[in-house]
Amino acid sequence: MLHIQEFFPKLNKPFKGVITCHQKPDGDAMGSSLALFHFLKQLGHDVKVIAPTNWANFLDWMPGVDEVIDFEANRPLSTQIINDADFVFCLDFNILHRTKHLEPIIVNSKSIKILIDHHQQPDTASFGFGISDVKMSSTCEMIYDFIVQSGHSNLINLDIAACLYTGLMTDTGSFRFPSTTASVHKIVAHLKELGLQHSIIHENIYDQGSEARLKFMGNAFLYRMQVFPELNTAIMAIPKTDIYKFELRTGDTEGLVNYLLSIHGIRLAAIVIDREEERKWSFRSKGLFDVNIFARTHFEGGGHANAAGGRSSKSVDETAQDFIEIIKTYKNQLTQ
């Protein structure tokens, strides 16, 4: 994989491009994709954003989101666009299978793949150009650098600023995670100098929940949460019946795992949700407990040192019980 800076000269000649991200795109995935979209459009390139799946309603306000194509809902169109593309920009994921059913379409296309991501252990062999930097707070921070380092900082307008801020804010936990470096604050300062109204973005992201979502959360805290103070661990297991009962939509469970970390003394938080095809895990930690290694070792997942995901083919009760047994072997790491 050639370094991303080797790609910069190609920005000077019009091309057809596709921008994609991981399935169920979050604020950073959608923010980085749309920021890059607006940037490349200004340079005269023919680009489309194709999301592997649908996304949360609280992202529907974002500039350009109405032009994003949902692959699951538009497979023939998406396939044709990718087959015609010169480049496919792969944002906020480290390996192609995170694009779900979109993976074989990307793999089989003749396009050159470009990686911009901050997750550990990237599959660099699958990409022609790219950059992978786990020290970065978000992919939006990396897209900001991409624009600036390519010599086009003057093209950062308010649409791009809003998209970048969304990813910076969400992936840093509103700027409280350790990944929030001085560089992150400098970027935000630049976006504010351009006229960005950050409070509106916070409202659009965090103040759009439904009454049903609040009832679901209350039910989850009362009946689905288990706390193991002797292991500094909390877990929540959400059965499919809860999904149906509270009519949850995409994005309604996002961020729920972080509440478990707010309990005094908890260093490892986990939530497993019973999805249609599999059981999906989210892990969060404080300090030195590495949930990326934990997820890779036990739950076919990975991510960051303090935030990772995983999966299981077992029932929600079975995989939750597996987790409880597994964490007992980590008692020394969790309590020291």
Name all domains of the chain by residue range, CATH numbers in brackets.
2-206 (3.90.1640.10), 212-335 (3.10.310.30)
Confidence of residue 126 (pLDDT cuts 50, 70, 90): very high
What is the rounded average pLDDT of the residues 193-210?
95
Indicate the burial class of 277 (C-beta count within 10 angstroms; 0-12, 13-18, 19 or more).
exposed
The reported pLDDT for the residue numbered 258 is 93
CB atoms within 10 A of CB 78: 22
260 within 8 A of 271, measured Cβ to Cβ: yes
Confidence of residue 30 (pLDDT cuts 50, 70, 90): very high
133 within 8 A of 142, measured Cβ to Cβ: yes
Mean pLDDT, all residues of the chain: 96
Q: Name the one residue in this structure whose structure tokens are 């999966």.
A: 311
The reported pLDDT for the residue numbered 209 is 87
Confidence of residue 205 (pLDDT cuts 50, 70, 90): very high
Confidence of residue 158 (pLDDT cuts 50, 70, 90): very high
Confidence of residue 85 (pLDDT cuts 50, 70, 90): very high
Angle among Cα 174, 301, 256 to the nearest 5 degrees reads 35
Closest by CA position to 105, among listed 37, 24, 50:
50
CB atoms within 10 A of CB 268: 25
What is the rounded average pLDDT of the residues 78-102?
96
Tell me the pLDDT tens digit for each residue of 218-254: 999 999 999 999 999 999 999 999 999 999 988 899 8
Percent of the chain past pLDDT 90, that is, above it, reads 95
pLDDT at 175 over 90: yes
Confidence of residue 319 (pLDDT cuts 50, 70, 90): very high
Signed CA dihedral, 320, 324, 326, 332: sign only: positive
Confidence of residue 336 (pLDDT cuts 50, 70, 90): confident
Percent of the chain past pLDDT 70, that is, above it, reads 100
Confidence of residue 276 (pLDDT cuts 50, 70, 90): confident
pLDDT at 271 over 90: yes
What is the rounded average pLDDT of the residues 279-283?
96
The reported pLDDT for the residue numbered 103 is 97
The reported pLDDT for the residue numbered 208 is 87
Closest by CA position to 90, among listed 142, 151, 150:
142
Confidence of residue 277 (pLDDT cuts 50, 70, 90): confident
The reported pLDDT for the residue numbered 55 is 96
Higher per-residue pLDDT: 276 or 160: 160
Indicate the burial class of 262 (C-beta count within 10 angstroms; 0-12, 13-18, 19 or more).
exposed
What is the rounded average pLDDT of the residues 31-45?
98
- Write the CB contacts of 33 (distance below 8 Å, at least 6 apart in sequence): 19, 20, 21, 25, 49, 51, 68, 91, 92
